Amino acid sequence: MVVAASVVVAVGTVTGMMSALDDRARSDEAGPPEVTRSPSLQSPPIVPPPSPSATKSPAPASPSPTSASPTPKKKAGPTPSPTATERKQQPTVVSARLYRHPDSKVLAWVRDNAGDPRHAVIASRIAAQPAAVWFADFTPATITARVRAVTAGGSASGRVPVVVPYAIPDRDCGGHSEGGAPDLDAYDAWIDRFAAGLGSGDVIVVLEPDSVAQSECLSAAERADRFASLARAGRVLKAANPKARVYYDAGHSGWNAPGKQAAWLRQAGAASTASSDGVFSNVSNFHTTAAEIAYDRQVLDALGGPASLGAVIDTSRNGAGAPADGEWCDPVGRKLGRAPTLATGEARIDGYLWVKLPGESDGCRGKPGTFTASYAYDLAR
């Protein structure tokens, strides 16, 4: 979703070359890898559907797999503009501790398009960064092996992988990213198999984006059942690998009030160290790092758990903050955020992660979920 690159780019030169390019093309999109192969350490994980945590308004009809209208999420206003310090902290150095999985759509595009004038910028500023690996399909027979492929790669390289289980039933409330397990019993069994692939090394688990923040579409009873299943999931994951750090869905700073979000998170097990290491926010969204730091600390304070609980923030596309009109679908003018790292220098902020891979379209700049070079280039230059 990420080998450090040794390429040094003259961005102004590349920008000039770009003026003659259009978005035709074989060279502009890379779709998801084939997922029907037998699992092995080289098999790519399933890739996520488009922008699961984008702040949505009801969308017009699109060629999505479902004809149902997506349930709108709270439309967020803009966050404060990034500070001068934030603007200077665009990604330049790859973290020495986070893992970059060798199978991703951006890497496939980079391998296949060496002659594209956008290649050097995309390779050095996006493909070289470590990023999360999503598991968005319900495939119980292969999930253990595919998770193990990622965690084993991280252990072998001495780096920390970030994995995203994304198969909760009624995912995305019937929106663009709908899907998941058929019911909670099946989900619980899938999580057991997911946990079996975590190995014994350090690993970060971003547990089910949107599963808490977007639960208002469920009835009170359905929500309670989901939260019980999420609490169980955290316990299972941490029991399978005591080094696993599990983070729960806090939405983002433009969505639910901190107190409301914390109350739901408490029900979902996020306040207990038996199941949780804290919360995550801003997945697939655009709110500034400063806004998310303030919001996450408010959520953690309201959550009331032990002081050891922290937060991780998706900084992949938040370098310019959220758009003023609340647009969620590949909005123009966005930029890469801070480079992924586990050394933030901020109290209770455990990491800046790239959970949503920059350049993977929300469905407006390219087909949903595909890597779209024109979008990636605009984010990176």
Active-site annotation, residues = 172, 210, 362
- Alpha carbon 112 to its chain centroid, in Å, reads 24
Planar angle of CA 314, 329, 133, nearest 5 degrees: 40
Rounded Cα distance, 206 and 196, in Å: 16
DSSP 46: P
Handedness of CA 277, 54, 363, 172 (dihedral sign): positive
User: 83 phi and psi, to 5 degrees?
Assistant: -75, 165
CB 189 within 8 A of CB 233: no
Distance of CA 333 to the CA centre of its chain: 20
Angle among Cα 312, 264, 368 to the nearest 5 degrees reads: 60
Angle at 115 between CA 110 and CA 119, to 5 degrees: 40
Is there a contact between 81 and 322 (Cβ–Cβ < 8 Å)?
no
Beta pairing partners, 360:
371
